[in-house]
Amino acid sequence: MRSCIFCKIVNNEIPSEAIFNDELVRVIKDINPKAPVHWLVVTKKHIPSIKESTKSEEILFGHIISVARDIAKKEKLLGYKLVFNVGKEGGQVIDHLHLHVLGGWSQTTNQVNV
């Protein structure tokens, strides 16, 4: 999937600011953050979205959320939002599975749409 920007990022063909990497995912800082903290947990495998995934990906989904939780804890986020945009109608722009991790607001400014 050489034309997919997130495939290029996880294959080190284009640079990104990575904060975590393992065999299943890479966590990068969003290039256009919609919150004071905005990371993307990007799968190494090209899956267009949750819609196109299957039950065989259940372990991967658990891992994505588990990684987000652990990094949020390490970075001392008090609270955060985890968002999957699914399909064009769901606001998804990049057709490669990723989880948005959004946080870092004060108590009064915690509303955001991604």
Name the residues that contact ligand 5GP, by CB under 6 A: 5, 16, 28-32, 40, 85, 91-94
Nearer Cβ to ligand 5GP, position 47 or 94?
A: 94
Is the CB of 63 or the CB of 69 nearer to Zn ion?
63
The answer to whether 65 touches 24, Cβ cutoff 8 Å, is: no
Q: Is residue 47 involved in binding Zn ion (CB under 5 A)?
A: no
Which CB, 3 or 108, lies closer to ligand 5GP? 3
Q: Which amino acid is at 103?
A: G
Q: Which three-class secondary structure string do you get for the chain?
A: CCCCHHHHHHCCCCCCCEEEECCCEEEEECCCCCCCEEEEEEECCCCCCHHHCCHHHHHHHHHHHHHHHHHHHHCCCCCEEEECCCCHHHCCCCCCCEEEEEECCCCCCCCCCC
Residues 82-101 that bind Zn ion (CB under 5 A): 96
Task: Examine the residue annotation and report whether 98 is marked as an active-site residue of this protein.
Answer: yes
Q: Work out whether 4 is an interface residue with Zn ion (CB under 5 A).
A: yes
Considering 38, 96, 98, 100, which one is annotated as catalytic?
98
Token pair 């985890």 in the structure block, residue: 82
Query: Which of 2-10, 11-19, 50-58, 81-89 is the region at the interface with Zn ion (rule: CB under 5 A)?
Result: 2-10
Q: How far is the CB of 62 from ligand 5GP (least distance, A)?
A: 20
